[in-house]
Amino acid sequence: MASEVILEVRDLRASFFTIRGEVKAVDGVSFDLARGETLCLVGESGCGKTATALAVLGLIQGLGGRILGGQARYRGEDLLTAPASRLRGLRGRALAMIFQDPQSCLNPVLTVGAQIMEPLRLHLRLSARQARARAVSLLQQVGIPLPERRLQDYPHQFSGGMKQRAMIAAALSCGPEVLVADEPTTALDVTTKAQILDLLKRLRQEREMSLIFISHDLGAVAELGGRVVVMYGGRMAETGDLEQVLRRPCHPYTVALLACIPDLGGDGRLKTIPGQPPSLIDPPQSCLLSPRCPYALPVCRRHRPELAEVAPGQQVACFLYPQVLARVV
Amino acid sequence: MSSNSLLELQGLQKHYPVGGGLFTPLVGVVRAVDGVSFAIGEGETLGLVGESGCGKSTLGRLVLRLEHPTAGHALFRGRDIFRLQGLELKGFRRQVQMIFQDPQSSLDPRMTVGDSVGEALLIHGMQVGKERGERVEELFLKVGLEREHIHRYPHEFSGGQKQRVGIARALATSPRLLVADEPVSALDLSIQAQILNLMKDLQEDLGLSYLFIAHDLGVIRYVANRVAVMYLGKIVELSRKEEVFSFPLHPYTEALLSAALPPRAGRRRWPRILLGGEVPSPMNPPGGCPFHPRCHRAFAPCPTVVPQATEVDGRLVVCHLWG
Amino acid sequence: MKSLVSRLGGRRHATALGLLLLLGAVGLAQGWLGLTLLPPLAFFYAFLGVLMLLYGAMPLYTNRRLTAHYWRRTRRNRLAVAGLWFIVFLVLLAVIGPFFTQSPTRVNFPEKNLPPLGFTISQSTFDLSAGQFIAKETPGVWEHPLGTDDKGRDMLAMLVSGAGVSLQVGLLATGLAVFLGAVLGVTSAYAGGWVDNALMRFTDIMMTFPFFLLLIFIVFLYGASLTLIIVVIGLTGWTGTARLVRSEALSLRTREFVLAARALGASPARVIFRHLIPNVMSPIIVIATLSIPGIILAESALSFVGLGDPSVASWGRVLNAGQQTLDTAWWVAVEPGVLLFFTVLAFNFLGDGLRDAFDPRTEV
């Protein structure tokens, strides 16, 4: 894609400090996000996909995390070193985030309208009337019928899918350039999920907004398209276009993950990944998948594989590929 | 229905009153389960699919006799489970067990997992002393856990391991039927596959029957022999697995299939049907066919006439298209 | 017999019930026969001892690994550990202290108003030889390291005996209140329906009842005695516990492990005793620890306003006496005040620490 890069993340490292020790949640994550592009962060729980987004938005500190290194440049400005006041200004206006559980993200004692109008008045300093008109149009855009009336409703009067739509409306209120969606469809039913994914796709196109979509659901990722980053143990395992990663996965983890899915296609026994996901407390300097990987080589247990390009646009961190091996020797 | 069925439901209903307490007026009735009939044979897996709030979990609890129905019967080996008492009820409890969705909350945090598994044996007075210990050990090995795990507490396990403990507990009394309510939806992909394979292996080894409740059609396809699709407390389609996935009868089944997203890029098998609107409240379901406001095939009779169950090629469908 | 035991939910609960019934029987028999084999407070101790042993110490011992786990988590909170040590120190003081101190009631006017060690005050005393009041420098002496009050009673002795009173009131009244609250709360939650409704309305009424007024009234009628005060505080102080335990038990009741036990055919008693009670134990322990200081303060307040048991030197009573001599002998009020302050603080710190340790949300 030739369009301008608006978010540039380089070697991001962040940890949570818990009683049991330092959890290396994000360990050397890099990616670029161009205008209007979709980037999907994929992986199982605890792989660091959410932590990556939280670190970029400067929200990880509030959750007991600390950024240890790297850069996250938004239009050239490093978010990791930006003062808190500047970050607050950017969040909501330029960078917005929606979460998995709309239930817990909407304040139950405020009307939905008040919650959508709040950022409009705060960031854009709109008058009450203007904010209201804008909120109505936002609700319309996210497909909520009778927006004028529903503005006065409280969150409990909304169904799960409607709440997620309202959350999206609130996140879009100030016209952000980047929308980070953290598992926005996980709590929803199958048919509602399809509706929300459709909405996200449409909004991205209409507004030329960049989307970071975090999910463990490869089906949803396949639906959205764009670039995919597969994460494992806080590190990037593989990255490439959707077509490349899902059709010609190169990392043994991606291959195994795809084989685990009981999909509507083939029959027969499911492949599994033996064992448990790695502990990120004091992880070894080796490939974290090696204890679970059927192809593990001696080198995998001694060195940490770095990402290397194996096909145009597709990078893999696995010693099965000579390009990766070459970086060690 | 065939005479060799293990469990047979006949017009099972469960209605919950809303309000109607000492100081509150009766507001309405939630028809969580509204006239459900089907049978599960020995060694069979019946997959029950539906969206949240469709009544599938309530149905599961009815089958376990954790709730009493408003109307209808459930026959286990020909005996109505809601009439069982005393020893017969105990016998029923031994033979029908449950696997839960949330491995976190399904184990008592104050008991070692070994005690949790052994509790079933204790309650039923099966195997005492050393024998009980041996049986617990055997169960642990069977579900892929190790001896050392027996004396640990739930918080020392990962989600997948806890789910294995839950399965071991369900197996302790050598049941014939397991009701599994979304047993893998709280687990990670790679762990989900492990648990599904384990459940299939156990079925083969022990000849178990499953009532497998899930919202994920992929999972259902992997485990089920027959599939029942539930919408607003009613079964709208009941078919053999191969046929549901290759040729769904009910428009709702069709929509569910089309919404179940294929993970591999570009492998969509169904024209995209995007259902409009939301699942209506089960307290106030639409008249006629309850699905008609969202249905992409709705026609003249749908808003007014309640469709009846029709048999099509040995499959059951409740839809005017086929009636 | 065996079926009765299993119906009660196991040997432990059967033992507890048996011992409690035995205690009640002995008490009743004693009343009828007009004997006093055991003083009333001894019954309290026995009652509390049975419960603590069977439901506190035994689970801690049988689940040693879980105990170690919670101890590790409590130990992280330094304030809680400090609080615990202070309480241990206080208990030792109250139990062993009286053997080493003078009698707290021995009046000795020549040694009145002696300051604590290290302080010297000047006070006017009547000099017999001179036949007039003279100002005299009075230093603290080793015999009375914490000084004496205006009647020459040893402060240390009074504070040590006061520690015993405060701890007795705190532990016994709390034990009674928490036991009642827990039983009512769990019953209410498990039974549901009209039982729940009735019990909770009763709790509401008890909550709004002006308990201080009741106490004043009872003390006026029957005269102040420590036992009476403990019973009244215990019988009125259970409402908060009942509410908390009920809400905890209600949320537990819908948890899947309770459902699992029911699907296995477990009896209601088994569900209550084996699954509900052990899981509400941690909030019970926490609320007990946190309500002890309030009850100690309540007794002190009663003594302070002169409604305490006149035969015991509780901290509140010493405080009350000291308040009148603040200008001549500040230490008489300050010393029990400081002790009370630290005792309350210690229990609060320990309670906070236990709450954090037991909270599964901080498990990560």
Q: How far apart are CA C348 and CA B200, in angstroms?
A: 53
Amino acid identity, position B32? A
A1: confidence class by pLDDT, cuts 50, 70, 90: very low
In three-state secondary structure terms, A195 is: helix
Query: Taking 60 as the threshold, does the pLDDT of residue C7 lie above it?
Result: no
Please count the other Cβ atoms lying within 10 Å of the Cβ belonging to residue A234: 26
pLDDT digits (tens, 9 = 90+) for C138-148: 776 777 777 77
A213: confidence class by pLDDT, cuts 50, 70, 90: very high
Q: Which one of B97, B105, B211 makes the best mutation probe of the C interface by having the most chain C beta carbons within 10 Å?
A: B105
Q: What percent of chain C has pLDDT over 70?
A: 91
Among A29-38, B88-97, B293-302, C55-64, the range scoring the smallest mean pLDDT is C55-64
Backbone φ and ψ for C52, nearest 5 degrees, come out as -65, -40
Q: What is the pLDDT of residue B20?
A: 64
Amino acid identity, position B300? A
Which strand (E) or helix (H) includes residue B168? Answer: helix B159-171
What are the structure tokens assigned to C177, written together?
């209140």
Q: How far apart are CA B23 and CA B6, in angstroms?
A: 44
Walk along chain B (323 residues) in steps of 10 and give the mean pLDDT of each run.
77 85 73 92 93 88 92 93 90 93 86 90 84 91 90 86 93 94 87 91 93 90 93 93 88 86 57 77 85 89 91 91 83
Place of tokens 């203007």: A130
Q: How far apart are CA B134 and CA B152, in angstroms?
A: 17
What are the structure tokens assigned to B229, written together?
């699709």
Q: What is the pLDDT of residue C10?
A: 63
C359: confidence class by pLDDT, cuts 50, 70, 90: low
Q: What is the pLDDT of residue B70?
A: 93
Q: How far apart are CA B322 and CA B315, in angstroms?
A: 11
**Structure ipTM over 0.90, yes or no:** no
Q: What is the pLDDT of residue C16?
A: 78
Contacts of B190 in chain A (CB under 8 A): 44, 256-257, 260, 272-273, 277
Q: What is the mean pLDDT of residues A48-55?
A: 92
Q: Which one of 3.40.1800.10, 3.40.50.300, 3.40.50.720, 3.90.550.10 gives the CATH number of domain B5-318?
A: 3.40.50.300
Q: What is the pLDDT of residue C169?
A: 84
| Contacting residues for B87 by C-beta, under 8 A, at least 6 apart | none
Q: Chain C: nearest CA to A211, how far in angstroms?
A: 30
Q: Which among B22, B66, B166 is the nearest to C262, CB-wise?
A: B66
**Cβ contact A135:A112 at 8 Å:** no
Q: Helix and strand tally (H, E) in chain A?
A: 12, 12
Q: What is the mean pLDDT of residues C9-29?
A: 78
pLDDT digits (tens, 9 = 90+) for C106-154: 777 777 777 777 777 777 666 677 777 777 777 767 777 777 777 777 8
Contacts of C363 in chain B (CB under 8 A): 155
Contacts of B22 in chain C (CB under 8 A): 194, 197
pLDDT digits (tens, 9 = 90+) for A156-174: 888 888 888 888 888 888 8
Question: CATH classification of C76-109+151-358 is 1.10.3720.10, yes or no?
Answer: yes
Q: Do C260 and B100 touch (CB under 8 A)?
A: yes
Amino acid identity, position B37? S
Among the residues of chain C, which ranges form H helices?
Answer: 2-7, 11-33, 40-51, 58-62, 64-75, 78-96, 155-168, 174-191, 193-208, 211-222, 226-236, 239-253, 256-263, 268-270, 277-304, 315-324, 331-358
Q: What is the mean pLDDT of residues A268-281?
A: 82
Query: Taking 60 as the threshold, does the pLDDT of residue C362 lie above it?
Result: no
In three-state secondary structure terms, C256 is: helix
Q: What's the predicted TM-score (pTM) here?
A: 0.79
Q: How far apart are CA B290 and CA B287, in angstroms?
A: 6
Backbone φ and ψ for C61, nearest 5 degrees, come out as -75, -45
Contacts of C67 in chain B (CB under 8 A): none
Which strand (E) or helix (H) includes residue B316? Answer: strand B315-318
- Give me the residues of A, 2-21, that contact C with CB < 8 A: 18-19
Q: What stretch(es) of chain C map to CATH 1.10.3720.10?
A: 76-109+151-358
**Cβ contact C180:C242 at 8 Å:** yes
Q: Chain B: nearest CA to C151, how far in angstroms?
A: 55
Query: Taking 50 as the threshold, does the pLDDT of residue A307 lie above it?
Result: yes
Backbone φ and ψ for B172, nearest 5 degrees, come out as -55, -40
Q: How far apart are CA C216 and CA C237, in angstroms?
A: 16
